[in-house]
Amino acid sequence: MSMAVQNILYIGARPDLHNFLIGNNALFNVSTAENSLAAINFLKQHPQLDAILCDLYLPGMNALEIYKLLHVQQIHISTPFIIFSENKSVKFKEDAFRLRVSDFFESLPKAEDLHFRISTLINYFALDKNNLPAEQPKREYNIPWNKRLFDIVVSFTALLMLSPFLLLVMIAIRLESKGKVYYTSKRVGTGYRIFDFYKLRSMRVGADSALQSLKHLNQYEAEADKEKQEETDKCPRCAQLPDGEMCSQPLYKEGERICEFWYYELKKKKGNATFIKIKDDPRVTKVGKFIRNTSIDELPQLLNVLKGDMSIVGNRPLPLYEAEMLTSDDWSERFMGPAGITGLWQVEKRGKKGAMSEEERKALDNQYARTYSFWGDIMLIMRTVPALFQKENV
């Protein structure tokens, strides 16, 4: 008897697992997403899936964190979620079943067995519509009505009053350098939603393509490099144990045996800095420097506010390459608050001595997501105006 083809999403980049699924196209119709951000956006756009198959280890976050995030956001909570691990991991397996993950494989099963398991889980979920982890509360992402009303009134009024001034600024930008006077980029805002972000152009045309050659000037990268220099070759916890023993589950990296704890420590230290900030950026034009220092380049974002993509006050929406590195449990909370033009970290740090560290910035973003309120936003706006005249450009 022929088996029905199952529509599945594979999250990961393991060649053996990918080839296994693609090679059994009589059983599986496979869509792929190599990282958590791509997966979340795919799942939002495709409500009909038979199963989600996910590598345990992914860039930015692991499979358990993706599973928890999907349940927090109420996305595909009744779709079987199956984790695949290349190595045995007792701790992760115990955590997976405690969270009620559908299944956890430490080796590749037979294609027919996987198909049967998914079919069984589909039938189970059909009988149990309330299959939610008890400790995962539902989080809503709707902007409060008073905050939304404030955003509409302020953004519309400001655009109306500032339109003559904006026209003069656009003419100045165009006279200094050829190209469009504005630019749009894809940004990630509340609940990992991607939208078109508007800004006046402050850099020369082709600035994005020159970013790779300027990475050595990134202030956040310098901090990451300092951490790399301090790392040692051996796990300090394993060094205190008898020869051959490891402080955590053994893994293999480039053929060498390494403990799970030290593998993740090295991965964190060797990762590139999440945020990009270049002091005295050579890509910035003269007019661009002025509109940046005065935050005039941010004014087109009032259109984003009017559309509902952003709020006047909130956490800055991030470029895709930054957001992909901020999806772990520690930092995903920043995306559970409104995206905005100005926010807590811009006001707290502007004008103060010393560059803001990556950890400080993420901590302030999380703090805002936990504590934002309408009157708190009004206070931040009142603090933003004098902050604009500080020298530090954040």
| Tens-digit pLDDT string for the chain (394 aa) | 457 899 999 998 888 898 999 999 999 999 999 888 888 889 988 988 999 999 988 766 788 888 988 887 788 988 999 999 887 777 888 888 888 899 999 889 999 999 999 998 888 887 765 544 444 444 556 678 899 999 999 999 999 999 999 999 999 999 988 888 988 888 888 877 888 999 998 887 665 554 555 454 544 554 444 444 444 457 776 776 766 666 655 555 544 667 666 766 665 555 444 445 555 566 788 898 899 888 899 899 999 999 999 999 999 888 876 676 555 555 667 778 889 988 887 777 655 545 566 667 778 888 888 888 888 888 888 877 665 555 545 4
The predicted model scores a pTM of 0.55
- Distances in Å between the Cα of 170 and the Cα atoms of 181, 197, 287, 394 are 6, 17, 10, 22
What pLDDT does residue 349 have? 64
Q: What is the pLDDT of residue 133?
A: 47
Q: What's the CATH fold of domain 6-127?
A: Rossmann fold (3.40.50)
Query: Exposed, middle or buried: residue 289 (CB in 10 Å: 0-12, 13-18, 19+)?
Result: middle
Helix (H, G, I), strand (E, B) or coil at 359: helix
SS3 226: helix
Residues 6+ apart with CB under 8 A from 182: 170, 198, 199, 200, 201, 300
Q: How much is the pLDDT for 166?
A: 93
Both tokens of 218, joined, read 């990134």
Give the 3-state secondary structure of residue 189.
coil
Dist CA 230 CA 269 (whole Å): 9
pLDDT at 394: 47
Residue carrying structure tokens 């050829």: 178
Output the pLDDT for position 21: 93
The answer to whether the beta carbons of residues 27 and 112 sit under 8 Å apart is: yes
Q: Parse the chain into domains and list their residue ranges.
A: 6-127, 145-208+281-387, 219-270
The helix-helix angle for 260-270 and 219-230 (nearest 10°) equals 140
